[in-house]
Amino acid sequence: MTRFLPGILAMAAIVVASNILVQFTVADWLTWGAFTYPLAFLVTDVMNRVHGPRAARRVVVAGFVVGVICSLIAAQMDATTLRIAIASGAAFLTAQLVDIAIFDALRGGRWWRAPLASTLVGSALDTALFFGIAFAAVLPHDINTGWSSEAVPLLGQGPVTALWVSLAVADWLVKLCLAILALVPFRLIVRNLLGDARKS
């Protein structure tokens, strides 16, 4: 279990940081949390490559528990609603577990294929689930989610749609870019960890 501790701590730190940074906007369509949260996929994929899918699932469960605790704390401060907390937890858990399954299925191919494919699918699923559950009009809005239905041009330029759609598209585009950029640290970290394991 101690060998998984760095992954668990990294995942917990990312979840906590993202829960805090999601409150601060970078631009009209993004928060700082959009830049930290995708690192969770990097942690999951490194754990999967180095220790296998079972270890990766343990790290994800630890991140999920931390996320639930953060949501409960935020709810006490009236910064979230049950709907947003459910959306966040469901999106995180589902996307990360799908990421692990896809990564494991592709693990025998080229080194970049498994992390890239699993992160792209996981990120798309995470975005769709979170924004769909948290803000889509099919569920009733409250004081904390009603603003998301405001009609605005898509990303300020395109056809008029609900604000939450622009937020979702911007969030997914950041995740897409970070999935590609994360291949470099993935390769370096995995090479380093596997090199150390062979030496011991």
What distance in Å separates the CA atoms of residue 140 and residue 107, rounded to the nearest whole number? 42
pLDDT digits (tens, 9 = 90+) for 133-147: 888 767 666 666 666
Percent of the chain predicted with pLDDT > 90: 44
Task: Give the residue from 30, 137, 140 showing the smallest Cα distance to 82.
Answer: 140
CATH 1.10.3720.10 fits 2-199, yes or no: no
pLDDT digits (tens, 9 = 90+) for 47-65: 999 999 999 999 999 888 8
Q: Is there a contact between 51 and 44 (Cβ–Cβ < 8 Å)?
A: no
**Mean per-residue pLDDT for 8-32?**
83
**To the nearest whole number, what is the mean pLDDT of the chain?**
86
pLDDT at 196 (0 to 100): 59
Residue 30 CB partners (closer than 8 Å, separation 6+)? 167, 170, 171, 174
Task: Give the residue from 78, 92, 96, 75 showing the smallest Cα distance to 18.
Answer: 92
pLDDT at 177 (0 to 100): 95
At 169, the pLDDT band (50, 70, 90 cuts) reads very high
Tokens 């062979």 sit at which residue?
Answer: 198
pLDDT digits (tens, 9 = 90+) for 85-133: 788 889 999 999 999 999 999 999 899 999 999 999 999 999 999 988 8
pLDDT at 199 (0 to 100): 45
What distance in Å separates the CA atoms of residue 147 and residue 188, rounded to the nearest whole number? 42
